[in-house]
Structure 1
Amino acid sequence: MFKKYRILKWSIISILSIVLSLFIFGWWFMGLLPSSENRKDITITQASDLPYLSKNTIPKRGKILAIVTSTAIMGNTDKSTGYELTELSRAYYVFQANGFEVDIASPLGGEPPVVIDDEDMGLYDFAFLNDREAQYKVKHTIPVDNVNSELYEAVFFVGGKGAMFDFPENASIQSIVRNLYQSDKVIGAVCHGPAALVNVTLDTGRPLLKDKKVSGFTNDEELLLISDAKNIFPFLLQDKLEAQGGVFNEGTMYLENISQENNLVTGQNPWSTWKLAETMISQLGYTPKYREITAEENAVKVLKIYEEEGSDEAKELMNRIISIEKKPMDRILIAKHGIIAAMQGKIGKFFSLVGLTSDAKNISEGMRN
């Protein structure tokens, strides 16, 4: 009896110790993230506040069509979906800053459903929400059946899981892609946006994607977030792109990665949007206008070096960006990748990325002191 009591006692002590340790670690981990107290309120940002848009404006060069999903619910589930706001807003302003007027269309027309992830919102995204002209366009989208593709120099398919349901079988979308591609105009798509390309056949009878390098949301990215994705979606995007003859270019999970085959430009995930949109501008024959790189993009640079070369090299790059170049660093994104590593059971990588997050905080605070 006494032995059982002693075992129970030490079991309780062990559990309490683990809980306390987790609490202390969680408290310390949250302390690595920027405090909201001293942060500027970016929710009120206007397009006119952004030098990229308001200074050194470029004369009109033509029009680009952005297409978003009209799907609000994922298949037979009760899970809401729509287009990803950050993927539209950032590309929209790249196109606009580089002299292109942007029209927005959707399969059904009117106001499409939107996904807004508060943690990913930045200056450009809030500026888009506060932009009357942009909001009018996105709330009154053109039905794709009514689109005259001859008016546009390029089409850009915005991601969002809803695209998996209403892009692939849409005959008007297929016609827009085929007509523009065969006219040597530019086709762009990011994240789930490449679902628009999977059933496009050229006038030669050859699938558009046949033997072309292509990127899109990967199976690993999809299944980590939605374990039953195979039962929810009509297909997994990576599988379908490969089945249609595409040569799938898979980059690191949740980091920037694009593919280009002449006038076909595709991106893996939301973090690929900036580079994809500017690559489209280059393919249209123009040098992209100078733009201050965002804190998120700087964090992506560090994370890519971490994946390719290791933590020491990543810390060295981070120190150079923050201390020497005096550029902002989004350490929340670095911390998120630590959490992703933990979700994958990669505990060593989790602690390594937590250490990198801590380094980012120390370097930033050292600059202020």
Structure 2
Amino acid sequence: MGDFDMPRFAQQLIAFLLMLASALLPLPATAAAPAGKVLLVISSHGAQSGQERPGFEMDELSQAYAVFADNGFDVEIASPQGGEPVADEYDPRKPYNARALSDPDFLASFRQTRRLMDVKSEAYRAIFVIGGKGAMFDLPINTDLKQLIAATYEAGGVIGAVCHGPMAFANLRLSDGSALVAGRNLTGFSNEEEALFGKRWVPHFPVFLEDALRGAGGQFSKGAIMLDHVVTDGRLVTGQNPYSTARTAEAVVAAVGLPAAPRQPYPDERSVAAIHSLLEGAGTQVAEAIASDPAGYDIPLIAVWGYYRTLQAGTDRAMLVQGLAVMELAEPHFADPEFKRTMGEVRQRLASSK
């Protein structure tokens, strides 16, 4: 202060005001108090990247991990056998996978997942079950997982799952003997999606996921194939397919009672949202949005979705028109001769069905 000596009471007053101001300011993200513990559960069933036995979906694990970590949770990963489970084949270049594979905390948890039998008595604010076809085999019969889910739910925790993950709930009963899903609104990988995308392993399933949840008394709902669909029923949160993962995890955050941190949607999320908007009649606006920023979308995903919609259509002309319209969204940005030929065949089908 140079030659000016501030009175001691003034120094004390300023120090007090600075302390008060700092207390009223939001803490930086790195200093935020932990939101509690979340457990991500993955299948141990996989072998040879899903070629010998189906495993879990890395896309779902990495997206869910990112959402919970970014919202201040202490994230743990567990599996029936512990150690490093085998994921089905995936693309490590996708942004969420690339992030996870470069995150030391994620890698430490993933390469040494905790055994479910070792965590069954621990307290979690939420449990989130990751999908992948392996979840159809080992998770529904794991008694440690059943006990942990029931105990967490009855203690006021939130239970979530995505894609094939809700199969863990199908034959799960609470301490009073009631089924967890009885009378509850929920979703998961639909029968239509199994018919189109699950042909290799479906013959080995004990039951279809949708049928199992309906049979347990669940009020099952579903959106169009491979589009984002999330259902929240109190402290039970479910998502239909891999493209529902991030929003399902955010819905779990909301069910815990916290506001989800803002984030930028991934290109595949933007693509699924674009398809959904087109189906609702906003085709022109969607085409313009994609044309202005094609790199912000997963163009092959849009093309493939349209193709599968035409396969699903059968003799349903309206669905066939939808599939072609989605393919036309991708066409200006997807120079693939086989894709062009397929579009020509779809147009011929439509012409012959008039």
Determine if the alignment matches structure 1 residue 341 to structure 2 residue 315. no
Normalised by the length of structure 2, the TM-score is 0.79
CA change 1:317–1:185 in 2 (3 A) is: same
Which letter does structure 2 place at the counterpart of 1:80? R
Contact 1:70 1:82 in 2 (8 A): yes
Q: 1:317, CA displacement in angstroms?
A: 3.4
**CA distance in 2 between partners of 1:319 and 1:56 (Å):** 36
Alignment partner for residue 306 of structure 1, among 278, 281, 287? 278
Cα distance in structure 1, aligned partners of 2:265 and 2:295? 8
The partner residue of 2:269 within 297, 314, 324 is 297
Tell me the amino acid that sits aligned with residue 297 of structure 2. M
Q: Distance in 2 between matches of 1:322 and 1:230?
A: 38
Structure 1 distance, partners of 2:202, 2:308, is 21
Does 1:163 pair with 2:138? no
- Name the counterpart of 2:85: 112
After superposition, the C-alpha distances for 1:77-118 in whole angstroms (9 at most, x for unaligned) are 964321100100011011001000111100111111111322
* Residues 176, 253 of structure 1: alpha-carbon distance in 2 compared, 3 angstrom cutoff: same
SS of the residue 2:137 aligns to: helix
1:61 aligns with 2:28: no
Identity %: 35
Letter in 1 for 2:89: I
User: In the TM superposition, what is the alpha-carbon distance from 1:321 to its structure 2 partner?
Assistant: 6.9
Query: Is residue 233 from structure 1 mapped to residue 205 from structure 2 by the alignment?
Result: yes
Distance 1:115 1:160 in 2: 8
Partner-residue secondary structure (3-state), 1:83: coil
Q: Is 1:140 aligned to residue 109 of structure 2? A: no
Counterparts of 1:116 and 1:73, CA distance in 2: 10
Q: How many residues align?
A: 301
- Aligned-residue offset at 1:360: 6.2
What residue number does 1:35 align with?
A: none
Between structure 1 and structure 2, the one with the greater Rg is 2
Q: Which residue is 1:96 aligned to?
A: 69
Q: 1:331 to 1:305 in 2, by over 3 A?
A: same
Equivalents in 1 of 2:81, 2:294: separation in Å? 46
Task: Please list, as runs of the form range in 1=range in 2, the aligned pairs for 1:277-292 lying within 5 A after superposition.
Answer: 277-292=249-264
- For 1:183-198, what aligned pairs fall within 5 Å after superposition? 183-198=155-170
Secondary structure of the corresponding residue to residue 155 of structure 1: strand
Given that 2:79 and 2:113 are in contact with CA atoms closer than 8 Å, whether structure 1 keeps it comes out as yes
SS at match of 1:66: strand
Q: Residue 306 of structure 1 aligns to which amino acid in structure 2?
A: L
Instruction: Specify which of 204, 207, 226 is matched with residue 179 of structure 2.
Output: 207
**CA-atom RMSD in angstroms:** 2.5
Given that 2:174 and 2:180 are in contact with CA atoms closer than 8 Å, whether structure 1 keeps it comes out as: yes
Between 131-140 and 91-100, the greater mean CA deviation after superposition: 131-140
Residues in 2 aligned to 1:94 and 1:322: alpha-carbon distance in whole angstroms: 29
Indicate the residue corresponding to 1:42 in structure 2. Answer: none
| Residue 352 (1) aligns with residue 321 (2) | no
- Mapped contact 1:322–1:329 kept (Cα < 8 A): no
Q: Deviations over 1:192-236 (max 9, x none)?
A: 100111111112211000000111111110121233655211110
Question: 1:305 offset after TM fit, Å?
Answer: 1.8
Distance 1:124 1:225 in 2: 22
| Residue 129 of structure 2 is aligned to residue 177 of structure 1 | no
Whether the 8 Å contact between 1:222 and 1:229 is mirrored in structure 2 is: no
Structure 1: distance between partners of 2:291 and 2:134? 38
| 1:82 counterpart (48, 55, 77) | 55
Q: Gaps (5+ residues) in structure 1?
A: 1-54, 363-369
TM-score in terms of structure 1 length: 0.76
Does 1:126 pair with 2:98?
A: yes
8 Å CA contact 1:160–1:192 kept in 2: the answer is yes
SS of 2:179's equivalent?
coil
Residue 181 to residue 299, structure 1, CA distance change in 2 (3 Å): same
Which residue identity is paired with 2:40?
A
| Match among 107, 125, 133 for residue 153 of structure 1 | 125
- Residue in 1 that maps onto 2:237: 265
